[in-house]
């Protein structure tokens, strides 16, 4: 898995490539902790190139949502591949994070949450 | 015992405080809940992981908990990969043994005490009343917090709620009005975790089979 991070105001964009599972989810948690600890409030996950997510991966996103909400922000994701969409749908994950169609939509959804 | 595992916690929650044994409402699915609790704990400790089709070992290192380690070893030794529901079925049939081990360690940890009680003047049975009830109160408080606070739940509490939902423990904690009010939240949180969904599925299958059997004989 590859993860790249870009700070943009009070947001952090995390682009996650490959598989998100028990062996790679600590990297996501570390990136989220660094961003929230550094004063960011919200996280946008670009998952266009994420082709697999396990329960541990989903748990890492759940923790990201918990931390972002505690910081007064939220989490939005976009670019879900069909296999990832299926996992999100079965878990009802759309009630925890905002599922957006693209980066701009993700920003809109997060600014709506922040009022 | 520093922190109770999810299997320990669901056993504490399933115990009837007066009788000192597993509540009759939970007994049919107690094995499923214990099996689910063990697998969930291994998942939280990042020894195993699951997806929509399979449960697999990601780290075979020992946890230091003999009950978890025995099951982890068993999963690691299995040549084929199976779903979490398959593993729950496999482990749940060992309900008596697993429950006995958990009760014994809760006694050793000073959370329960073991008593010999008589009934019908002749027969005796073992009962496991709680020593202080603190662990049960804490677990219930966490469940209530998940249900009635609008926070994103943490993974451990999400998993505990999945176990509590499948065993009907929630109906011993909440009034029917509270249960109605929390229904959507219970379903929403319990769906988040794959092993929680499997515990719910296997529990429902057992309850349906029992209902069919009762309908056949009455």
Rounded Cα–Cα distance for residues B39 and B197 (Å): 12
For tokens 């982890």, the residue is B72
Q: Best interface-test mutation with A: which of B43, B45, B49 has the largest number of A CBs within 10 A?
A: B49
Q: What dotted CATH number matches B6-212? A: 1.10.3630.10
Using the predicted structure, report yes or no on whether residue B122 has a pLDDT greater than 90.
no
Rounded Cα–Cα distance for residues B176 and B171 (Å): 7
Rounded Cα–Cα distance for residues B17 and A2 (Å): 51
Give how many domains chain A has, as a whole number: 1
Q: What is the ipTM of this complex?
A: 0.92
With helix as H, strand as E and coil as C, how does A44-92 read? EEECCCEEEECHHHHHHHHHHHHHHHHCCCCEEEECCCHHHHHHHHHHC
CATH number of the domain to which A39 belongs: 3.30.750.24
Q: Are A40 and A7 spatial neighbours (Cβ–Cβ below 8 Å)?
A: yes
Query: Tens digits of per-residue pLDDT, B89-121?
Result: 999 999 999 999 999 999 999 999 999 887 776
* Residue A114 belongs to a domain: no
At B67, is the secondary structure helix, strand, or coil? Answer: helix
Low-confidence stretches of chain A (pLDDT beneath 50):
115
Contacts of B195 in chain A (CB under 8 A): 55
Q: In chain B, where are the structural domains located?
A: 6-212
Contacts of A99 (CB under 8 A, 6+ apart): A76, A77, A78, A80, A88, A93
DSSP B132-176: S-HHHHHHHHHHHHHHHS-SPPPHHHHHHHHHHHHHTTHHHHS-H
Ramachandran angles phi, psi of A41, nearest 5°: -110, -25
Helices (H) and strands (E) in chain A, counts: 4, 6
Using the predicted structure, report yes or no on whether residue B2 has a pLDDT greater than 70.
no
Q: Best interface-test mutation with B: which of A59, A67, A98 has the largest number of B CBs within 10 A?
A: A59
For tokens 């704990």, the residue is B41
Find the domain containing A83 and state its range.
2-108
Report the residue of chain A nearest B84, measured CA to CA: A55
Q: Residue B207: what pLDDT?
A: 87
Q: Are A1 and A20 spatial neighbours (Cβ–Cβ below 8 Å)?
A: yes
A→B interface, C-beta within 8 Å: 21-23, 52-56, 58-59, 62-63, 65-66, 69, 86-87, 90-93, 95-96
Report the residue of chain B nearest A54, measured CA to CA: B51
In Å, how far is B46's CA from the nearest CA of chain A? 6
Contacts of B192 (CB under 8 A, 6+ apart): A58, A62, A91, A92, A93, A96, B153, B158
Rounded Cα–Cα distance for residues B111 and B47 (Å): 27
What is chain B's mean pLDDT, rounded? 93
In Å, how far is A5's CA from the nearest CA of chain B? 23
* Residue A24 belongs to a domain: yes
Choose the closest CB to A90 out of B52, B154, B195.
B52
* Residue A115 belongs to a domain: no
Query: Tens digits of per-residue pLDDT, A41-71?
Result: 999 999 999 999 999 999 999 999 999 999 9
């Amino acid at each position: 898995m590859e993860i790249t991070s870009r700070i943009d105001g009070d947001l952090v964009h995390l682009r996650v490539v490959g598989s998100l599972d028990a062996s790679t989810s600590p990297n996501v948690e570390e990136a989220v902790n660094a961003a929230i600890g550094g004063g960011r409030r919200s996280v946008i996950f670009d998952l266009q190139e994420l082709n697999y997510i396990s329960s541990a991966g989903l748990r890492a996103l759940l923790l990201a949502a918990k931390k972002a909400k505690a910081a007064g922000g939220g989490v939005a994701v976009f670019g879900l591949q069909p296999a990832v969409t299926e996992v999100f749908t079965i878990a009802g994950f759309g009630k925890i994070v905002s599922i957006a169609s693209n980066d701009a939509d993700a920003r809109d959804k997060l600014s709506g949450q922040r009022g | 015992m520093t922190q109770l595992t999810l299997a320990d916690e669901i056993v504490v929650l399933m115990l009837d405080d007066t009788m000192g044994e597993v509540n009759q409402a939970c007994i049919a699915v107690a094995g499923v809940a214990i099996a689910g609790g063990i697998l969930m704990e291994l998942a939280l400790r990042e020894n195993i992981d699951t997806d929509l089709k399979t449960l697999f070992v990601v780290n075979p290192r020992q946890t230091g908990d003999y009950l978890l380690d025995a099951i982890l070893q068993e999963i690691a030794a299995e040549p084929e990969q199976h779903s979490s529901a398959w593993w729950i079925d496999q482990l749940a049939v060992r309900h008596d043994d697993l429950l006995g081990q958990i009760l014994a360690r809760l006694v050793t940890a000073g959370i329960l005490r073991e008593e010999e009680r008589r009934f019908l003047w002749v027969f005796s049975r073992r009962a496991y009343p709680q020593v202080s009830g603190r662990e049960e109160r804490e677990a219930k408080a966490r469940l209530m917090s998940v249900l009635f606070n609008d926070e994103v739940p943490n993974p451990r509490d999400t998993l505990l709620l999945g176990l509590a939902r499948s065993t009907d423990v929630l109906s011993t904690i909440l009034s029917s009005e509270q249960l109605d009010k929390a229904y959507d939240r219970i379903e929403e949180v319990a769906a988040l975790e794959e092993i929680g969904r499997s515990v719910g599925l296997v529990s429902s299958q057992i309850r349906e089979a029992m209902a069919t059997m009762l309908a056949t004989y009455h």
